[in-house]
Chains A and B, each alone.
Chain A
Amino acid sequence: MVRPLSPTDVARRVARDIPDGSYVNLGIGLPTLVADVVGPDKEIVYHSENGILGMGPAPAAGEEDSELINAGKQPVTLLPGGSFFHHTDAFVMMRGGHLDVSVLGAFQVSETGDLANWATDEAALPPAVGGAMDLAVGARRVLVVTTHTTRDGRPKLLSRCTYPLTAAAVVDRVYTDLAVLDVGPEGFVVREVAPGVTPDGLQAVTGAPLRFAPDLAVVHPD
């Protein structure tokens, strides 16, 4: 029986791939869970596009500062050693290759590492992009966290993205509720699968041909 990973388990698995001492930007949504599960053995400096390095967790109730917020506009704190800087410098850090890791959500990822995470084919809403395109092109490693399929069961990992691209050939690794996949010259290579997931079963919910690593393992979140 397939036992998909919970969002927290996926976050734990991502956290394991983030080395001690990294400068990291976590995208809005699922990626923010990563900060909650990184162990105390690692010192990670979190970056926020609105001019924060050394961002800490949400403040206690009643201690919020309406001007100290993260990219998702939620109140946060500053850790000792943290700093504030202006927007242009925040994006120098992103675009200029100074961040070690960017963890992003996605609508679709292609087998060549194309990322679609800013627009769908929904025309009723005005378009909005924020910092998504800068995050995708700049970080040394781009990790994507997403469910393996849409809510109505359509694959999100595809031969080619059908939604508008955020950036081409940028994604290094994808973490879903069903598998951990590397993206490289050979397309998607499955490194790990969730308990109960078979190669045929995974292929059936993926829109691109999969290769499986010779040492394919079951995901251990911790």
Chain B
Amino acid sequence: MIDKRVATLAEAVADVADGATVLVGGFGNSGVPVELVHALLEQGARDLTVVTNNAGSGETDIAALIREHRVRRIICSYPRSAGSVWFEQFWRAGEIELELVPQGTLSERMRAAGAGLGGFFTPTGADSLLAEGKEVRVLDGRRQVFERPLPADVALIKADRADRWGNLVYRTAARNFGPTMATAAALTVVQVRQFVELGELDPEAVVTPGIFVDRVVEVAP
């Protein structure tokens, strides 16, 4: 019997180790697994590498992880936002490392990890500072930079509904990085609004098949 449902947020993130690389879904405030990140904060794992599009804002989720000195390194495309106060303070003080990655390259590096590829050449950023130290080749008449996969120990993502096999459907633009991140981590943990019975999700509409998912936890809105 397969049952990926867990009862509590604490149980969902119980074994995240110090030093882990953690993918966190979301774009701005859309699709951020806020409750799972708060559970990780309570769990206490430190020295984390966090991979996410933005570096958090205000006092919640990723901003709170940074504030509480849990994040050694952040890999993201756009750390600045109106409320990214904690990230900016730690960055200025040299207390957090930043690896800046173009957004499409960030997503594709995770896809490559999930797809078992050794990397890829992309024209994105090939003529920019972000290609420094990387192999650049002219392919099909264009300069392209070699980018490596970005695998992780854990992915924390948010979806709308899940069944006990871990099949997922999402809601509007909250889908964003979730489906790709789910493929790229050794342990994929998902918070959903609602559990449904096996067979209740339209198989034509399942976005993330359960093979990519390890744990699901229900968080009532």
Contacts and interface: CB of A to CB of B under 8 A. Distances in A.
B77 A87 contact: no
B123 A73 contact: no
A91 B80 contact: no
Contact of A69 (B80, B98, B129, B173): B173
Interface string A40-77: 00000000111110000000000001111100010000
Interface string B89-100: 001000000101
B79 A131 contact: no
B88 A126 contact: yes
Contacts of A168: 127, 143
A175 B105 CA distance: 29
A137 interface: yes
Given A51-B176, A87-B27, A95-B122, A133 B79 contact: no
Nearest to A168: B127
A67 B174 contact: yes
Contacts of A125: 80, 88
A4 B174 CA distance: 41
B43 to A, nearest CB: 26
Contacts of A52: 173
A165 B127 contact: yes
A166 interface: yes
A73 B29 contact: yes
B63 to A, nearest CB: 14
Nearest to A76: B173
B60 to A, nearest CB: 13
Contacts of B188: none
B104 interface: yes
B118 interface: no
A1 interface: no
Contacts of B173: 48, 50-52, 67-69, 84
B30 A130 contact: no
Interface string A127-150: 111111110011000000000000
B130 interface: yes
A88 interface: yes
Most buried by A among B101, B107, B108, B171: B107
Contacts of B175: 51, 84-86
Contact of A126 (B27, B79, B129, B130): B79
Contacts of A129: 77-78, 100-103, 125, 130
A94 interface: yes
Interface stretch (B5-13, B177-185, B211-219): B177-185
A185 to B, nearest CB: 16
A88 B127 contact: no
Given A87-B27, A87-B177, A126-B79, A137 B123 contact: yes
Given A91-B103, A114-B127, A133-B105, 15 more contacts: A49-B104, A50-B173, A67-B30, A67-B174, A84-B175, A86-B177, A87-B107, A95-B122, A126-B79, A128-B80, A131-B103, A133-B104, A137-B124, A137-B126, A138-B123
Interface of B: 27-31, 77-81, 87-88, 91, 98, 100-105, 107-108, 110-111, 122-130, 143, 170-180, 207
